[in-house]
Amino acid sequence: MSEKPVCEIPKNAREKIIFRLGEFKGHKFCDMRVFITEPGEDSGKEPSPTKKGLAVSPTLWPQFKEALGQVEAAMIKEGWLDREDLEPEV
């Protein structure tokens, strides 16, 4: 199995969400997984993947992206997000 990290988002002090492109038995996917750094581990050690994650195949990516847009619209409608929250920081 080959995996190529693309980006990461800090979740909290011990966890981060890492986005990776991967391939397993000829099937390509985008893996979005929570990684954890155990307390007391030295900072040079790589974080460990958890079972908390999602793998999306490229064929499903357009639908996945559309679903994220629908979730974003619902969050704005419910007042969980402001449109200003979605503006890139300058």
Same domain, 7 and 41: yes
**Type of residue found at 33:** R
**DSSP 3-state assignment of 69?**
helix
**Count: domains in the chain:** 2
Looking at the fold, whether 6 and 30 belong to one and the same domain comes out as yes
pLDDT at residue 38, rounded to an integer:
79
pTM of the prediction? 0.80
Which long-range contacts (C-beta less than 8 Å, at least 24 apart) are formed by 58-67? Answer: 58/28, 58/29, 58/30, 61/30
Per-residue pLDDT at 63 = 98
pLDDT tens across 44-68, in order?
Answer: 678 899 999 999 999 999 999 999 9
pLDDT of residue 37: 87
Same domain, 5 and 42: yes
Mean pLDDT of 2-9: 87
Structure confidence by residue, pLDDT tens digits, 9-50: 999 999 999 999 999 999 999 999 999 987 765 566 788 999
Q: Which residue has the tokens 């999602």?
A: 54
Note whether 46 and 77 are same-domain residues.
no
Q: Are residues 20 and 41 in the same domain?
A: yes
Verify that 39 and 21 share a domain, yes or no.
Answer: yes
